[in-house]
Structure 1
Amino acid sequence: MAIKIGIVGMGGIGNTHARCYKADPLAQLVAVCDVIKEKADKAANEHNVQAFYCIEDMMKAHPELDLIDVTTSGFDNGSWHYEPVMKALDAGFNVMVEKPISNDNDEAREMVVTAQKKNLYLGCNLNHGFTGPADKAKELISQGKIGAPVYILHKVGFNGSEYSYKPLPKDGPMRRFAGPYSHAYAFLSHPFSLMRSFGGDITHVQAFFDKPGGRKSANDLMWSINGINVKYQNGSIGYILSQRGDAIFGLGGWWSFEMAGTKGTFCIENCVEKLYYWDGSKPASMGTMQAEVFDFGTTDFGITFNNRLHAFLEDMTNKVPPEHIRGSGRDALATLEYTVAAIKSFEEGGALVRPRALPPLHGTPGFVV
Structure 2
Amino acid sequence: MAVKIGIVGMNGIGNNHANCYKTDELADLAAVCDVVKERADAAAEKHGVKAYYSLKDMIENEPDLEVVDVTTGGIDNGSWHFEPAMEAIGYGKHVLVEKPLSNDVREARELVAAADRKKVYLGCNLNHYFTSPAEKAKQYMESGDIGETVYCLAKMGFNGGEANYGLAASPKIKGHPYFHMRAFLTHPLSVMRYFCGDVTHIQTFSDRPGFRRSAGDVMVSINSIHLKFASGAVGYLLSQRGDAVYGLGGWWSLELAGTRGTFCIENCVEKISYWRADKGIPAISVQPEPVVTDFGTNDFNSTFGNRLHAFLEDVSNKVAFENLRGSGRDALAVMEYTHAVQESYERGGELVRPNPLPPLHGDPHFMK
TM-score (norm 1): 0.98
Distance between the aligned counterparts of 1:206 and 1:284, measured in 2? 34
Matched, 1:44 2:31: no
SS, match of residue 117 in structure 1: helix
In structure 1, the residue matched to 2:158 is: 158
Q: Which amino acid aligns with 1:127?
A: N
- Alignment map for 1:70-85 (pairs within 5 Å): 70-85=70-85
- Listed one character per residue, the Cα deviations across residues 35-56 of structure 1 (whole Å, up to 9, x for unaligned) are 0000000000000000000100
Q: Percent of aligned pairs with the same residue?
A: 59
- Residue 106 (1) aligns with residue 103 (2): no
Equivalence map 1:238-317=2 (5 Å): 238-281=235-278, 283-285=280-282, 286-287=284-285, 288-317=287-316
SS of the equivalent of 1:196 reads helix
Runs of 4+ in 1 over 2 A off after TM superposition: 282-285, 366-369
Residue 338 in structure 1 maps to residue 337 in structure 2: yes
What is the correspondence of 1:160-239 to structure 2 with a 5 Å cutoff? 160-169=160-169, 174-178=170-174, 179-239=176-236
Q: 1:323: how far off?
A: 2.0
CA distance in 1 between partners of 2:45 and 2:135 (Å) = 36
Letter of the 1:150 counterpart: V
Distance 1:132 1:92 in 2: 33
Aligned to 1:14: 14
**Distance across 2 between alignment mates of 1:225 and 1:289:** 33
Opposite residue 176 of structure 1, the aligned amino acid is K
Q: Which residue of 2 aligns with 1:95?
A: 95
Cα distance in structure 2, aligned partners of 1:168 and 1:301? 24
User: What RMSD over aligned residues (CA atoms) do the two structures have, in Å?
Assistant: 1.0
Deviation at 1:175, TM superposition (A): 2.3
Task: Compute the displacement of 1:218 (Å).
Answer: 0.3
Q: Which residue of structure 1 aligns with residue 60 of structure 2?
A: 60
CA offset at residue 289 of structure 1? Answer: 2.8
CA distance in 2, matches of 1:277, 1:145: 9
Superposed displacement of residue 281, structure 1 = 1.2
Local SS of the residue matching 2:89: helix
Structure 2 unmatched ranges of 5 or more: none
Displacement of 1:282 in angstroms is 5.4
Q: Secondary structure at the match of 1:242?
A: strand
Distance 1:368 1:250 in 2: 48
Aligned length: 365
**CA distance in 2 between partners of 1:194 and 1:284 (Å):** 29
Shift of 1:366: 4.6
Query: Which runs of 5 or more structure 1 residues have no equivalent in the other structure?
Result: none
Provide the rounded CA distance (Å) in 2 between the counterparts of 1:284 and 1:127.
Answer: 36
Q: Distance in 2 between matches of 1:236 and 1:360?
A: 22
1:363 alignment partner, SS class:
coil
Q: Give the corresponding residue for 2:4.
A: 4
Following superposition, the deviation at residue 365 of structure 1 comes to 1.3
Q: Distance in 2 between matches of 1:283 and 1:254?
A: 34
CA–CA distance in structure 2, aligned partners of residues 112 and 32 of structure 1? 24
